[in-house]
């Protein structure tokens, strides 16, 4: 069925349980290639290699150590044994991980925007980057979402929707699907060769799932449904626009408050005297610390409030606008529609979808 390679993962290995179906790493590779996630990851890897080889970027040991700590914390790899097991599960070494971290830092640099020829084998680096970057989990999550969308209640999945861009030119055209499968199967041949008949079936199902997902987005994005969700979040989604200055101590913050309240100085003048900057910020109520949200909820427009203790200093704030959520505001409407869709998909997935292998 599959011709496997000596690198992780083996394409015929099961990785996802989806209802009464099983998806393999090969299926995920194909889906990731079909929806563009593989191409974007390859481009990032290539840009990073170019930045490193051309000398545009050269991460320091301190930066690498900090990135390694962040990598382990994100994956809860607290002990050396945890890390060794994680690497072993993916047939990786600490040297390969360090190479990935170096590419991650290089890709993050604003200098890594140029693209050019590289000496290193891009696909060999890409396989490591896929394993270490969370790419397989991202594709698995997207695969699970699409599988769930196709199993939403009939009145949702049958809701009229624009035709999804098809993989292949005509519905049911096995020749065009086979051509697509052949092309995508070469996307990362270092991992092995995909089984074409299975790939055709996966692409056909992926096309059907896209139609169902588009229908679900329309259903849960309807004005009536979204308006109810926005009303439910009328307090939490209230949006604050405010100016702030961040000062090193409460004494300095209290002095700034006195200047604002007693001397009627504006934030820019206070900031200039304090040697800091005024920052304009906009946040929803539920994005802010509880104490700060409470103060802004009761604040008078344009009056200074504080001091507000934070982890990086003490803030003084001037509220400029308090805006309730609105159906007409995309920053309210879009999150509401997405929240409704994801809740519906989670209900389908509950107890029916889980990982069978490392991601």
Domains of the chain: 3-220 (no CATH), 239-323 (3.10.50.40)
Among 122-126, 155-159, 201-205, name the one with the lowest average pLDDT: 155-159
- 230, pLDDT greater than 50: yes
Higher per-residue confidence, 239 vs 178: 239
For residues 7-17, give the mean pLDDT: 92
The overall average pLDDT reported for the chain is 88
Q: Number of H helices and number of E strands within the chain? A: 15, 9
- DSSP letters, 250-311, are HHHHHHHHHHHHTS---HHHHHHHHT---EEEEEEGGGS-HHHHHHHHHPPTT-EEEEEEET
Among 21-25, 133-137, 171-175, 193-197, name the one with the lowest average pLDDT: 171-175
For residues 187-193, give the mean pLDDT: 84
- How crowded is the C-beta side of 238, counted as CA atoms within 13 Å? 15
Among 59-63, 86-90, 105-109, 160-164, name the one with the lowest average pLDDT: 160-164
Hey, what are 255's tokens?
């002095």
Beta carbons within 10 angstroms of residue 183's beta carbon: 11
- 286, 232 Cβ separation under 8 angstroms: no
Total-model pTM: 0.80
Beta carbons within 10 angstroms of residue 331's beta carbon: 13
Omega before 148 cis (within 30°)?
no
For the chain, percent of residues with pLDDT exceeding 90? 68
- 234, pLDDT greater than 50: yes
- 99, 128 Cβ separation under 8 angstroms: yes
- 110, pLDDT greater than 60: yes
| Per-residue confidence (pLDDT) for residue 96, from 0 to 100 | 95
Tokens 């699970």 sit on residue? 144
Helix %, strand %, coil % of the chain (to 5):
55, 15, 30
For residues 119-125, give the mean pLDDT: 91
- 152, pLDDT greater than 80: yes
| Per-residue confidence (pLDDT) for residue 54, from 0 to 100 | 86
| Per-residue confidence (pLDDT) for residue 112, from 0 to 100 | 55
| Per-residue confidence (pLDDT) for residue 116, from 0 to 100 | 72
Beta carbons within 10 angstroms of residue 351's beta carbon: 7
Confidence of residue 331 (pLDDT cuts 50, 70, 90): confident
| Per-residue confidence (pLDDT) for residue 104, from 0 to 100 | 95
Helix (H) or strand (E) holding 135: helix 135-149
Picking from 102, 118, 112, the residue whose alpha carbon sits closest to that of residue 51 is 112
- 15, pLDDT greater than 50: yes
| Per-residue confidence (pLDDT) for residue 186, from 0 to 100 | 81
Angle at 276 between CA 319 and CA 237, to 5 degrees: 30
């Amino acid at each position: 069925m599959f011709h496997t390679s000596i690198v992780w993962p083996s394409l015929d290995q099961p990785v996802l349980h989806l209802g009464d179906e099983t998806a393999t790493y090969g299926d995920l590779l194909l889906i990731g290639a079909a929806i563009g996630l593989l191409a974007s990851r390859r481009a990032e890897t290539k840009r990073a290699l170019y930045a490193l080889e051309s000398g545009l970027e050269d991460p320091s040991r301190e930066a690498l150590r900090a990135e390694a700590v962040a990598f382990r914390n994100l994956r809860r790899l607290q002990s050396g044994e945890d890390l060794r097991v994680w690497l072993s599960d993916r047939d990786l070494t600490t040297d390969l991980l360090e190479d990935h971290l170096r590419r991650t830092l290089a890709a993050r640099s604003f200098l890594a925007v140029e693209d050019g020829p590289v000496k290193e084998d891009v696909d060999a680096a890409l396989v490591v980057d896929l394993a270490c970057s969370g790419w397989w989990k991202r594709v698995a999550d997207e695969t699970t979402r699409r599988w769930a969308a196709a199993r939403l209640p009939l009145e949702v999945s049958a809701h009229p929707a624009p035709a999804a861009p098809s993989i292949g030119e005509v519905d049911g055209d096995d020749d065009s699907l086979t051509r697509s499968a052949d092309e995508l199967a070469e996307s990362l041949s270092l991992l092995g060769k995909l089984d074409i008949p299975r790939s055709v079936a996966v692409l056909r199902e992926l096309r059907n799932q896209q139609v169902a997902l588009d229908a679900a987005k329309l259903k849960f994005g309807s004005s009536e449904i979204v308006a109810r969700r926005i009303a439910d979040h009328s307090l939490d989604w209230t949006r604050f626009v405010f100016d702030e200055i961040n000062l090193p101590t409460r004494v300095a913050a209290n002095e700034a408050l006195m200047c604002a309240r007693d001397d009627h100085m504006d934030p820019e003048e206070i900031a200039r005297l304090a040697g800091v900057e005024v920052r304009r910020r906009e946040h929803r109520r539920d994005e802010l610390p509880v104490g700060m949200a409470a103060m802004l909820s009761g604040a008078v427009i344009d009056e200074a409030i504080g001091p507000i203790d934070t982890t990086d200093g003490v803030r003084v704030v001037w509220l400029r606008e308090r805006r309730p959520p609105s159906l007409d505001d995309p920053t309210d409407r879009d999150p509401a529609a997405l929240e409704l869709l994801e809740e519906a998909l989670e209900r389908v997935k509950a107890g029916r979808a889980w990982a069978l292998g490392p991601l």
